[in-house]
Structure 1
Amino acid sequence: MCRLILFLILLLGVIPLQAQTSAAPTGGSVCVVAKEQGNSLAIEWVVGEQSVSHAITTAKSALNAQGFAHVFPQAKSAIPHGWIVVVKTAYKTVTGRVRTSYGCGFSQESARAAEQLAVSDLRAYSWGWKPEYGYDKVEVKRY
């Protein structure tokens, strides 16, 4: 019984210490996309904000001010500094509809790593897109 009590005292003493030391300073970056019926209409990206939630609010507000009602965060990052790459593609679906889609990636390592994440993001949100359709880099920026 004494061992159990001692164990609990030690455990309770360690948990608050871990909670205090695990929080690292972060930033906020996001890509928010305006969509309608599965098609991407516009994108707004914000980097270097104080938090991800603040970046989302800023990007959504910018798209709403342009008249877009259906805006959704598509990619986000809490890294304070790094690379952002935004890609855009236009392609025809198997049903013959022309679609525009975006992908967004953030990386501390390199622009190339951010581009790979942007293409992965594009694939995750645009199921009909295939790599052979290609894409254009809309933004490559270090922040």
Structure 2
Amino acid sequence: MQTLYDHAWEIRKAYGYRVYGDREAGRKFRTFLHGRAWIHAEGPVALFDHAVGWLRRHRVLLPGVQVLARQVSEVRAAAERRLHATVASAVRRADPALSAELVALLQVPEGGRRPGPRERGWPKRWSGWRRFPRSGWAG
């Protein structure tokens, strides 16, 4: 009787694939994934697709979808934390008072509602035909 893993074993033997848990391949894969998440501003689906591509190019047997999705999610979260720390550090170096001002922008005033754009005095949007009724676009 053939077991669940016999097929994977045959692929490894015939084509030289490595298991997903291989230490060397795992280290290289995590390095690739962390670098990709840090350098490129792409969503989880794109990062997942690049991860699958890397595993295939480097002849590593693909893990289950949930395993790979969890790893992509963890790497993206780490990249977001790193980005936040980098920006916060740059803000503190640029102007020590600036970080307090930025946090103050996030505070909701009494009453639990921020004023809308018109209440803040912002101009209302105009469409092109109202702005240039006769000549079309200004040029």
Pairwise TM-score range, normalised by the shorter structure = under 0.3
Structure with more strand by fraction: 1
TM-score for the superposition, normalised by structure 2: 0.26
TM-score for the superposition, normalised by structure 1: 0.26
Structure with more helix by fraction: 2
